[in-house]
Amino acid sequence: MEGDWENLEYLSGFGSHLLSEALPNSLPLARNSPQRCPYGLYAEQLSGSAFTCPRDTNQRSWLYRIRPSVVHEPFARRPHATLIGRFDDAPPDPNQLRWKPFDLPISDTEVDFVDGLATVCGAGDAPSRHGVAIHIYSCNASMRRSCFYNSDGDFLIVPQEGVLRVDTEFGRLTVEPNQIAVVQQGIRFAVHITQPSRGYVLELYDGHLTLPNLGPIGANGLANPRDFLHPVARYQDDRSEQPFLVLNKFQGGLFEARQGHSVFDVVAWHGNYVPYKYDLSRFNAVNSVTYDHIDPSVFTVLTCQSTRPGVAIADFVIFPPRWGVSEDTFRPPYYHRNCMSEFMGLIRGRYEAKESGFQPGGASLHSIGTPHGPDAECFEKASSCQLGPERVADGTMAFMFESSLSLRVTKWGRETSNKLDKDYYKCWQGLKRLFDPEKI
């Protein structure tokens, strides 16, 4: 069932136990692994957590497929110059860093999603199952008779330019700029495009993303569970016996194996370990209605918590269009030295704190303890303007990957990409001494 990519159907609900079947009665009744599955399918469990995890964190799905995943030839190492699994190939750098927009591939060279991955920074390592990596992707070709899965962790994918058509074992997702997709550890997928495309990827080694606790906000607000969409079952009955390539990221390296059929042969599935997408325009922003600039954690969409309460391995935070109404307040982000690492990207528009230098498709990194905040132009404007209710960030979507880990930039991020803005520090040099001990 190839079908097209228009008018795809989805199942909604974050963390829900879902089920879907492409053929009637293809899900076994009252058991997961019957002696014989309907239609001659194979039953296969995909675990997203240890068997003995508490029920509220236990994640797994059962897939009913034409052939089990084990039918493939041995894996072999596949070279990939820009996908980095270690973060010691360049010296540490505590400076404020900003990247100009990353390049799209040149038109006469075909680069697909996997080939176009490049690691900008990260911390920890995959074998110990602790850490994060931040990549960009830049591609001009679809994946053909191939798929990718990540044994090291989950991918949170943020398109910036170009629509992604993501084929997964569970079904299909169409992901546009201003939307995100999450494909968890072990789930096989392929990315198809219709134009040169670019975006960002957060890779999590530790665990899975969850919705943040709302605390005194109450039962509603921020990202609502009903707005997370999951694919419905769709299968390919591939009898071509043409080579199909399975790519696997394992312990930081890339490996490949060949088989004679497509991996997208799942006829039915059920479980709570399912890829999903989310439209950032549906975020229900909460903000101050009295005074002060609220901490950006109030704009958290998803979080992966560490073992320390309230401390995240990574948060995914956005800065969406909203109203600003706080009184007698410097409304842009405040000057800050953080105990967390802040990696920012811009999907579209102009970020309020740095309207002239931070560009869509680019990025910035403010490391642990490194001062940052509005540039001189923003400070001057926000300190002297007439305050009143105003729209903020209309036509703009900036985001942040924030981590308690100290991120280290790769050699590709520092040198090879040739996108590091060496003049970034100058945006603060115009901040003047305003202190006058004779005047309050």
Contacts with 387 (C-beta within 8 Å, 6 or more apart), sequence order: 327, 328, 329, 331
Per annotation, catalytic residue among 21, 169, 203, 342 = 342
Report which of 165, 166, 171 is spatially closest to residue 270, judged by C-alpha positions: 171
Per annotation, catalytic residue among 230, 261, 372, 402 = 372
| Residue 342 a catalytic site member | yes
Measured CA to CA, the distance from residue 332 to residue 165 in angstroms comes to 36
129, exposed or middle or buried, with CB in 10 Å at 0-12, 13-18, 19+? Answer: middle
| Residue 130 a catalytic site member | no
| Residue 21 a catalytic site member | no
- Enter the tokens of residue 211: 């919705």
Per annotation, catalytic residue among 192, 208, 366, 402 = 366
DSSP bridge pairs for 99: 363, 420
Per annotation, catalytic residue among 293, 355, 377, 380 = 293
Q: Give the type of residue at 59.
A: Q
- Enter the tokens of residue 289: 């209605």
Going by the DSSP 8-state scheme, the letter that residue 217 receives in this structure is: G
Q: E strand or H helix at 411, and its extent?
A: helix 411-411
Per annotation, catalytic residue among 9, 110, 327, 336 = 336
Report which of 310, 323, 288, 295 is spatially closest to residue 400, judged by C-alpha positions: 295
Cβ neighbours, 10 Å, residue 370:
17
The set of catalytic residues is: 293, 336, 342, 366, 372
